Structure formats: structure tokens, C-alpha cells
Chains A and B, each alone.
Chain A
Amino acid sequence: DAGITQSPRYKITETGRQVTLMCHQTWSHSYMFWYRQDLGHGLRLIYYSAAADITDKGEVPDGYVVSRSKTENFPLTLESATRSQTSVYFCASSEFSLATGELFFGEGSRLTVL
């Protein structure tokens, strides 16, 4: 099916472990984004990508790594997970830049770090 999919939907891990959240979109959108959503906060941008092999930091990038070797995939890696990274993570894509493009979100990945 066309759209944007995230995996896993739920993940429990331990402090210090590496975790990778996957994001795949079938629209060939240029822009892809990773957000985290926590109680008491609006969605906060972690990293974004304007095209394959082009990535840039958002407002809360510390502790996260991204890559984008293919247009359709944008994985997010927590190299050494911490409890403060317990959150719901949303991947999103857009055909155009944030100024004009509509943002399409995945269903989210709920991560718990023990």
C-alpha cells in the first residue's frame, strides 16, 4: 500500500542499547522528518532530510543519528538509548519544503527505555 510506514510500532529496550527506528515512504517525497512527541510538549523536530544523502539537525538532535541513502527510507538510530528518549517517534514526509508542503505522518513508534 502507498503511504508512510514505521517499524517497529512498539519497542522496549534497555539503557545503553542501540535502537533503530525505520521509516519508509512510497510517494518519492523529497523531504522526510523525524519528530518526537512527549506529554507537555508539542511535536519536536529531531532531524530532517531534504533529499537522499542530505540531512540536517532539528531542535533536539542530541543522542540521535540519521541516514538517507535512498529517497524512500529514513532510519533513526539511538546509538546508546537513555531513559529520557522514552517517547513516541513520528516520521513524516513532504513533497515540498515546510513552507508550502503538506506533511504526511506515519503511525508512530512508541519506544520505552528501561
Chain B
Amino acid sequence: KNQVEQSPQSLIILEGKNCTLQCNYTVSPFSNLRWYKQDTGRGPVSLTIMTFSENTKSNGRYTATLDADTKQSSLHITASQLSDSASYICVVSASQGGSEKLVFGKGTKLTVNP
């Protein structure tokens, strides 16, 4: 069964600190992995899209890593800011029966406190 598991479910950190969010997936065949940021009451916004051949991809203070062998990804946030408070959703693209589908994780809720 195609699944995406994210950990932790929630995380509280102080402003300026770094943090790492985890994503494990059992999706095959794998097409790509995406990280989205969703602010409260808003729609998800794409942070990164990583293909099989990409190990690391950065978007400002956000750095995503992908280990396709262990089927794990992480999202590292450097020097956190209050505006980083949001849910972060890991999404894996799978190919099934000739059609593509996206498998969504349940998200990690990050709170950055001053």
C-alpha cells in the first residue's frame, strides 16, 4: 500500500533555532517527492520538488534531502522565523496502472515561538 508517514506530528521550537522534519514513504514506482508549506487557513504552497536523482535541494532557508534507497526524505529549516509556523506536508508521486497519483502525508505542524 502506498503510504507517506511524517514525523513528528508536531514540533515547537524557539525562533532562530534549526529543525528537521522527517518523511518516510512506501510508494512505488517513485516519480518525485515534494514538500509543501501550509499556513493556517491557507492552501499549501510548494517548497521543493525532488526527482529520483536529486539528493539535496534548497529553497532559501529550507533544504530538502532525499534518500531513494531507504525511501526517506527530510526538510531542514535553518535559523527559524516566526513566519515558519505552519504545517509541512510531504507528498510522493506514484505511478499506478498508467496514471499518476500523489500520496499525501498528514503533515508536521511546526510552531516557532519568540
Query: Which residues in A have some Cβ–Cβ distance to B below 8 Å?
Result: 40-45, 59, 90, 92, 97-100, 102-108
Task: Categorize the interface residue count of chain B.
Answer: 20 to 34
A99 touching B93 in the complex, CB below 8 Å, given contacts A42-B106, A43-B104 = yes
User: Residue A108 contacts which of B34, B43, B93, B95 (CB distance < 8 angstroms)?
Assistant: B43
What chain B residues lie within 8 Å of A41 (beta carbons)?
106
The number of A-B residue pairs with CB atoms under 8 Å apart is 49
A-B pairs with lowest CB-CB distance, top 9: A42-B104, A105-B43, A98-B100, A43-B104, A99-B100, A99-B31, A105-B44, A42-B106, A107-B43
Digit string of B17-29 for contact with A (CB within 8 Å is 1, else 0)?
0000000000000
Digit string of B75-106 for contact with A (CB within 8 Å is 1, else 0)?
00000000000000100010100001111111
Dominant secondary structure at the B interface: strand
Question: What is the minimal beta-carbon distance from A34 to any residue of chain B, in angstroms?
Answer: 12
What chain A residues lie within 8 Å of B104 (beta carbons)?
42-44
User: Residue A98 contacts which of B4, B41, B101, B106 (CB distance < 8 angstroms)?
Assistant: B101
Question: What is the minimal beta-carbon distance from A111 to any residue of chain B, in angstroms?
Answer: 14
A42 touching B43 in the complex, CB below 8 Å, given contacts A98-B93, A99-B32 = no
What chain A residues lie within 8 Å of B106 (beta carbons)?
40-42
- A97 near B43 with CB under 8 A, answer no
Tell yes or no: B46 within 8 A of A by CB. yes
